[in-house]
Structure 1
Amino acid sequence: MKKIILNIIIIASLCFSCERDLDLAPVTEVSETTFFKKASDFEEFANQYYGSLSGFGTPGLDRQSDIMFGLGTNNISNGSYVTSEESGFWNGSYDRIRQTTFLLQKYDALEDASLKTEAVIYAAEARFFRAYAYFNLVKNYGGVPLITQILNTTDTEILFKARNSREEVITQVLTDLDAAISDLPEQSSYEGGNSDGRITKGAALSFKAKVALFEGTWRKYHGGSVGNLLDQAIAASNAVISSNEYEIFNHTADFGGSAIDNYKYFFILEQANKTNAANLTKNDNKEFIIERRFDRGREVGGGIADPRGFSPTSKLANMYLCTDGLPIDKSPLFQGYDLVGDEYINRDSRMAGIMMVPFEQQWSYRQTVWQRDWSDPMANGFTNTIEIPGRTTTGYTLHKLHPEIIGPNGVDYPVLRYAEVLLIFAEATFEKDGSISDADLNKSINVLRDRAGIANLTNALVTNNGLDMLTEIRRERTIELAMEGLRYDDLRRWKTAEIELPKAITGIKYAGTQFETDAPWNTLSVTLDADGFMIVDDVSARSFDANKHYLQPLPTNQVELTEMEQNPGWN
C-alpha cells in the first residue's frame, strides 16, 4: 500500500522519548507485552502528547490576519495560497490521533481495577489531546475522517472512507472532553498548585468552552444549527470562573504602578529571578491554564526570535481605546498623530505593553542576566528610535513575547489562559441572547480592563456613545490576545474575513506628521493611503474568496487516494 492515507497504520513497535529511566528491556524498543503494566508506563507514553501543544511558532499565525505583518507578504493573509500534495499539519494531527487512541485502547483492555484507577488520569489526557487534534483539523478543513480505533492495513473501508461531517467530528471532540473533565484533577490538587504543565480539569473545561464558542459562532454566521453550543461555552467558562482555580496576573503595584510593565513581563516570566524589575517568577502566574512548559535544563524555549518578523499594523494600533473606554474616533483624550508617540498618550496600557513606545528606553534584547541593573533604566538598553525597515516594517515595534534575558530561556507559551476564558464567557453570553448584563461584564471583560487601567465596559457607555456591544466585545478579544495566533480563526468564524482581509495592510500615519518632516524618516520612500497611512501591502495584491477561503484545501494526495471530496472552490 502506498505511503499515505491518514497516517494511522498500526503500531508495530512503540518507540518514544522519555525523561526518566525505564526499567524495561530492550531499551530502544518497547514490547507491548512488557509495557502498560503500571501507571507510570501510561504516564511515560502520555508525555509525548505535550509536544503537540502550540509553541512559540503560533504567534506567526497572526501574520495570516490583518493585525500583524512580517518581513514580507503572507500568502494566507493575501489569499494567494494554493493546494499542496501533502501537509505536515494533517499528517502530524493524525499521528497524534493514532497515539492517543492507542493509549485508550490499552487502558480499556486493563483487567486490573487498581491499575485502571491509577492510570485513569492518563487516559483522560489522551482524550484531551485527541480532542485537541481533531478540533485543529476542523478549524482548518471542516469535516475530516473520524477515526476512533487502531487500524490494520486490511481496514481499507475505513482507511479510504469519505469525510465525516464537521458536526460529527465536533460531537466526538466534546464527548472526549467531557470524559476528560470527569477524570482529570483540579490544578489545586497538585503540590503547591503547580501541575508542572500537565492537563487539568480546568484545562479541559476551558478548552471545551473554546471549542463550543468557535463552533457555535461558526454555525451561527455560516449557516447551521447552533443547538446548545453557546450554552455549553457559557457553562464551561463559568465553571472555570467559579472554580477560583485561576486569576488574572495583576502585579502592577509590584512594578511600581506600571500596568504596561505588568502586561509586558507577564509573558516572559522565568523560574529564575532578575528577569524583571519586580523579581516575579512563573510561580506568581496563576493565569496560564494550558501552557507549553519550558524550563532551563528541560525543554528550552526562547520566545519570539526576531522582532522584525512581527510588526503590528495600524488596524491593531487603532483598536486600543483611550482611558475613558472610548475609541479614538470618539474620545476627547486622543492626542492624534502629529508628533511621534502622540497616539500612545491616554491609551489602554496594553498598547504600550505589546508595542514599544517611541523614544523610550528598552532593555537590550537577550542581554546577560548578570548585567541587568534594574535601578538604572539606561544600563544595557537602547532607545526605540523606530527603525524603518530595520526593526519594523510598519513603524510599530513589537515587544510582547520577546524575552530580554540571553538564552537558553525558560519562558512558557500561553496556549490558553484565564483571560481568554473570561472573553469566551462574555462573547458566548452576548451571541446567545443578543445582550449581556453589566454584572456579567464585570465578571469578565472588566476584570481585564481593570488590569489595563481603562474605564469599564457598561451598557450605558455603549448606548450613550453610539457604540455596538458586539464590536466592543470583539475588540477586547483582539487587543488582549494579540500575538497569540487567534485573529485569523476569529475572522473566519465571525465570517468577517471577506471584509477585513482584502483591505490594504497599513502602518503608521505618515502624511502631516513628524514622520514626514523629521530625519531619519523623511527620506523614506513610502506609499500612502487616502488618510495618509503608510501602505505595506497594497489592496491590489490582496484578496479573499468567500466561496473557498473560509476553509483550507485538503492535501491533494488524500483526495486522490480516498473517497474524500476536496473543499469547495479548491478543485
Structure 2
Amino acid sequence: MKKKHIILYTLGLSLTFGLSSCEKYLDIEPISRETVDDAYATASQIEAALAGAYETFQSSDYYVWDNVLFQDVRSDNYYAGGDNPEIFAIDKLEIIPTNGRVFSAWSSIYNGILKANTVLERAPAITDPALSEERRAQIISEAAFLRAYHYFNLVKMWGGVPLVLEATKSTDPSAVRLPRATAEEVYNQIIADLQFALDNRLPDTFGEANITKARATRGAANALLAKVYAQKPNPDYNKVLEHAEAVINSPAGYTLLGNYNHLFDGNHYNNDESIMEVQFLGGNEGNWGPQMHLPPSVSGDTWRKFVTPSHNLVDAFDAEGDEVRKNATILMEVVPWADEFWGNQTGSEVPFAYKWRNASGWASADRQYIFRLADIILLKAEALNELNRPSEAAQEVNRIRKRVGLDEIPQTVAASQTQMREVILKERRLELAQEATRWDDLRRYNVAIEVMNSLNEIDLRTGQRVNYNATEGDLLLPIPQQEINRNPALQQNPL
C-alpha cells in the first residue's frame, strides 16, 4: 500500500465493517415466483420497469454529481472545495477503500445494472398483445444499452469487475459473490450488448426530441461504442472512426449549435447537438447538483461551494485566448469565505463551475449531457490522428474551434501526429470541462501521472506547492472495502 494511504486507510477502516446496504439487500428473502411473474406480465409493466432503469440517471449520486468528482476534481481541472474530507481526498489522490463516495458510486451503478438485467430477462416472456414485437425489441435493446453504459463506467474506474448478467434471484453466496472478470472480458461484454442493441431495432429517433434525447438510440449506442473502442486497454481506432462517423452522419441529424453558450444556458436542452441527456425537469424531478457548485448570487446561500475551477484550468483557457468557452464554463465572484487556492481570506474573488447555472433550491432543471456531438467529433479527430492522418484530424478540430472564434490549427502543427495529439487533448479539455471526461482522457493518453505530478498548485495557507504524488496505483479506484468484506472472491486493486 502506498505510504500516503496508510494512515488514512487505518483511520477509516473501523467505520466500514458490518453489513453494507447492498449486502442487506442481498440478504432479504426473494419474493415468490408468482409475485415476480405478476409484476412483469403486461406491456405497461415492462415499460414502467424500463422507465425505472432510466431513472438511475436521476437518482444515483454518481450520475448526478460524483462523476464530476471522479473525473474533473480528481484531475487538473477542479479543486474539491466544500467541507467533505472524502471529496478532498479525491482531489489529493488519497482515495482509500473506505471512502464513502467510492462505495456509493460502485453500489449505485450496480443498482442500475440490476434494473437493466430485470428488463432484459422479463421482456421476452411477456405475452400481452399490447406489446408489439417491434416495441419489445426496442425495450430489450434499450436495456442492453443501459447495462453497457453502466459497465463502461465501472470498468473505467475500477478495471475488471464482477460481471452480473442476470437479475438477482438468490442469496446463495455462490450466486452473488462473484469474482472480478478481467477488464478485457468486461469490455467484450459492453461491445456485445451495444452491437446487440444496434442489430435489434434500436431506432434513430423516437419522434419527439424530449423522448429521443432521453433514451437510447442508434446515435447513443454508436457514441458509446466510439468511446469504448478508444478507452479499452487495446484501443481500436478504426472502430472508433467507424462509430464516430455513424454518429456524425446519423439520420437523426446531429449538428453543432452555433452558440456554445446555448448548450448550458438552460433554455436550449434537447438541442441538435445533444445525443443523450439526463431529463431533469425541476421540482420533484429536479437536479440537486447545481446547488453544490453555484456562487451565493445564484444559489442564494453563503456556504463554501464544491468543485472549484483550478488555476491550471483557468490558465489553459487564457493561454488559448478562449474567452467564449471560459465564460460559459466559469463564473468569477467575490465570496465571504477563504479559499486556499484563490485567496486565503474572506472577500477574495473565486471561480465557480458554471455549466449548470440554476440552483433552484436543490431542484434545478439543469442537465448533464451523456453524449453530445462535439465530444464525438473530437474522438473522430483522435482516431484519425492515431491512424496517422493528422491533417484530417486537424480539420475536425477546426470545426470545434471555429464555433468559439479560435484560429485554425497551423499547417505545421497539423502535419505532425505528435503535436496534434497534444492539440486534441487540450481541445477536449477546453470543450468538455465539468462534463466528466478529463480523467478518462488523461488515462487514455497515458499522461495522468505526468500531468498530476507536474502541476504547480500553491496552497496559500502554507505557501507550499501541492504534491499529488501520483503513481500507477492512482489510475484506478480501490474496490470498496464494504464489497471486499462481503465478497471474499474480490481482489483489491494495487494501492
Map 1:355-370 to 2 at 5 A.
355-356=330-331
Residue 448 (structure 1) aligned with residue 400 (structure 2): yes
Residue 426 (structure 1) aligned with residue 381 (structure 2): yes
**Inter-CA distance 409–143: structure 2 relative to 1 (3 Å threshold):** closer
3-state SS of 1:415 partner: strand
> Structure 1, residues 119-142: CA drift from partner, whole Å, max 9, x if none?
222211211111122111111211
Match of 1:119 in 2: 136
**Counterparts of 1:304 and 1:391 in 2: how far apart (Å)?**
22
Residue 539 (structure 1) aligned with residue 466 (structure 2): yes
Q: Which moved more, 1:407-416 or 1:132-141?
A: 407-416
**AA aligned opposite 1:231:** N
**Inter-CA distance 108–175: structure 2 relative to 1 (3 Å threshold):** same
Match of 1:47 among 36, 51, 72: 51
Q: How big is the shift at 1:196?
A: 5.8
Match of 1:105 in 2: 121
Match of 1:282 in 2: 269
Match of 1:349 among 318, 324, 339: 324
Residue 457 (structure 1) aligned with residue 406 (structure 2): no
> Structure 1, residues 497-531: CA drift from partner, whole Å, max 9, x if none?
211223445379xxxxxxxxxxxxxxxx7766xxx
> Structure 1, residues 293-329: CA drift from partner, whole Å, max 9, x if none?
11245612366223443332232123237xxxxx66x
> Structure 1, residues 264-319: CA drift from partner, whole Å, max 9, x if none?
3421324xxxxxxxxxx436x21121211112456123662234433322321232
**Counterparts of 2:135 and 2:221 in 1: how far apart (Å)?**
19
Match of 1:502 in 2: 453
**Inter-CA distance 6–409: structure 2 relative to 1 (3 Å threshold):** closer
Q: How big is the shift at 1:238?
A: 0.8
Match of 2:212 among 191, 195, 200: 195
Bigger radius of gyration: 1
Map 1:63-462 to 2 at 5 A.
63-71=73-81, 74-84=88-98, 87-110=103-126, 115-153=132-170, 155-191=172-208, 194-195=211-212, 197-215=214-232, 219=233, 225-226=234-235, 229-251=236-258, 262-270=259-267, 281-282=268-269, 285-296=271-282, 299-301=285-287, 304-305=290-291, 306-307=294-295, 308-320=305-317, 346-356=321-331, 384=333, 389=338, 393=342, 397-398=351-352, 400-404=354-358, 406=360, 408-431=363-386, 433-438=387-392, 440-442=393-395, 444-457=396-409, 459-462=411-414
**Inter-CA distance 568–150: structure 2 relative to 1 (3 Å threshold):** closer
3-state SS of 1:175 partner: helix
Instruction: Using structure 1 for the length normalisation, give the TM-score.
Output: 0.69
**Counterparts of 1:56 and 1:268 in 2: how far apart (Å)?**
18
**Inter-CA distance 349–117: structure 2 relative to 1 (3 Å threshold):** closer
**Counterparts of 2:277 and 2:222 in 1: how far apart (Å)?**
15
Residue 487 (structure 1) aligned with residue 438 (structure 2): yes
Q: How big is the shift at 1:554?
A: 1.2
Match of 2:60 in 1: none
**Inter-CA distance 463–234: structure 2 relative to 1 (3 Å threshold):** closer
Q: Is the 8 A contact 1:64 1:74 kept in 2?
A: no
Instruction: Using structure 2 for the length normalisation, give the TM-score.
Output: 0.79
3-state SS of 1:34 partner: helix
Residue 32 (structure 1) aligned with residue 39 (structure 2): no
**Counterparts of 1:485 and 1:206 in 2: how far apart (Å)?**
15
Match of 1:512 in 2: none
**Counterparts of 1:211 and 1:436 in 2: how far apart (Å)?**
22
**Counterparts of 1:151 and 1:118 in 2: how far apart (Å)?**
25
Percent identical: 24
**Counterparts of 1:249 and 1:7 in 2: how far apart (Å)?**
44
**Counterparts of 2:322 and 2:113 in 1: how far apart (Å)?**
45
Q: How big is the shift at 1:422?
A: 0.9
**Counterparts of 2:26 and 2:403 in 1: how far apart (Å)?**
46
> Structure 1, residues 322-379: CA drift from partner, whole Å, max 9, x if none?
xxxxx66xxxxxxxxxxxxxxxxx545212322347xxxxxxxxxxxxxxxxxxxxxx
Q: Is the 8 A contact 1:249 1:266 kept in 2?
A: no
Q: How big is the shift at 1:544?
A: 1.4
Q: Which runs of 5+ in 2 are unaligned?
A: 1-18, 58-62, 296-304, 344-348
3-state SS of 1:69 partner: strand
> Structure 1, residues 5-62: CA drift from partner, whole Å, max 9, x if none?
6966798459xxxxxxxxxxxxxxx933434333322111111122322224543441
Q: How big is the shift at 1:476?
A: 0.5
**Counterparts of 1:386 and 1:559 in 2: how far apart (Å)?**
42
Tell me how large the CA RMSD over aligned residues is. Answer: 3.6
Match of 2:6 in 1: none
**Counterparts of 1:246 and 1:398 in 2: how far apart (Å)?**
34
**AA aligned opposite 2:285:** E
**Inter-CA distance 247–488: structure 2 relative to 1 (3 Å threshold):** same
Map 1:463-474 to 2 at 5 A.
468-474=419-425
Q: How big is the shift at 1:102?
A: 1.7
**Counterparts of 2:335 and 2:389 in 1: how far apart (Å)?**
42
Aligned residues: 447
**Counterparts of 1:90 and 1:385 in 2: how far apart (Å)?**
37
**Counterparts of 1:349 and 1:386 in 2: how far apart (Å)?**
24
> Structure 1, residues 475-514: CA drift from partner, whole Å, max 9, x if none?
0111100011221222233332211223445379xxxxxx
**Counterparts of 1:199 and 1:11 in 2: how far apart (Å)?**
33
Q: Is the 8 A contact 1:9 1:152 kept in 2?
A: no
Match of 1:566 in 2: 491
**AA aligned opposite 1:555:** P
Q: How big is the shift at 1:415?
A: 1.8
3-state SS of 1:84 partner: coil
Q: How big is the shift at 1:467?
A: 7.7
3-state SS of 2:38 partner: coil
Q: Is the 8 A contact 1:291 1:414 kept in 2?
A: yes
**Inter-CA distance 352–95: structure 2 relative to 1 (3 Å threshold):** closer
**Inter-CA distance 268–49: structure 2 relative to 1 (3 Å threshold):** farther
**AA aligned opposite 2:115:** Q
**AA aligned opposite 1:37:** A
**Inter-CA distance 147–296: structure 2 relative to 1 (3 Å threshold):** closer
Q: How big is the shift at 1:244?
A: 4.9
**AA aligned opposite 1:434:** N
**AA aligned opposite 2:124:** D
Q: Is the 8 A contact 1:233 1:424 kept in 2?
A: yes
Match of 1:556 in 2: 481
3-state SS of 2:35 partner: coil
**AA aligned opposite 2:437:** L
